[in-house]
Structure 1
Amino acid sequence: MERSMLNVTYRNRKANTWVRDKTKLTDVIEKVRRRKWTCAGHVSRIRDNRWTLRVTTWKP
């Protein structure tokens, strides 16, 4: 997607980091990791008997 935004193909032999620098877009994997840890932090701070805490600590 980013390569098509810049009209660059693999034949142009441009590195993915170069493409990412030109488009100024954030890496999707890094964004997902950050949001995952943010959500985990919120769940770990829950004190009452909410379903999110019960589901994460549930043992069958």
Structure 2
Amino acid sequence: MTLKETEKICPICGKGNNCQHGSKDCWCKHIEIPKYVLEMVPEDKRGKACICKSCIEKYTK
């Protein structure tokens, strides 16, 4: 499955999210993201692109 350009961008910081969408091996399948971090995503981008590792680490510390 090919990602759209907007799906490759973190909706919080605007940098690449390195998502391997649809792959069982993607890093995002093995990480728990706190609800308050998910709520930082603008409503129009929710469920459309993954948050990058950097933002997850930055906002969960």
Fold-level match, TM-score > 0.5? no
The one of the two structures with greater contact order (alpha-carbon pairs below 8 A, sep at least 6) is: 2
Higher helix share: 1
Structure showing greater radius of gyration is: 1
Normalising by structure 2, what TM-score? 0.23
Normalising by structure 1, what TM-score? 0.24
